Amino acid sequence: GQQLNQSPQSMFIQEGEDVSMNCTSSSIFNTWLWYKQDPGEGPVLLIALYKAGELTSNGRLTAQFGITRKDSFLNISASIPSDVGIYFCAGSSNDYKLSFGAGTTVTVRA
């Protein structure tokens, strides 16, 4: 089962806003991953983090591997309509088995 606490569960964004979400774990992880899932598709990897304290960017996305190795956050800057979807954090304490958060659903505010 899932060991990760991901928040917020959902959020509404206005185009141009910055978005932030995070994940915490009761266990120490060696790897943190952030995925995005569009409707009718499988999760797609956004960012991978491998070292405590690591800060990594991918375009408008920035993610950090927490110093305690029990948390991670994802920021989206200057959001655009195609940023809507479900974002999942995932952590691994070994090289191959992942635990997933429940997801953060991002919706555009009308």
Partner 1 sequence: DAGVIQSPRHEVTEMGQEVTLRCKPISGHDYLFWYRQTMMRGLELLIYFNNNVPIDDSGMPEDRFSAKMPNASFSTLKIQPSEPRDSAVYFCASSLKSGGIQYFGAGTRLSVL
87, amino acid identity = Y
Closest CB to partner 1 among residues 21, 79: 21
Q: Tell which positions 35-64 bind partner 1, by CB under 8 A.
A: 35, 40-45, 48
**Does 16 engage in binding with partner 1 (CB under 8 A)?**
no
- How far from 47 is each of 12, 14, 56, 61, 62, CA to CA, in Å? 22, 23, 7, 8, 8
**For binding to partner 1 (CB under 8 A), which residues are involved?**
1-2, 30-31, 33, 35, 40-45, 48, 88, 90, 92, 94-98, 100-103
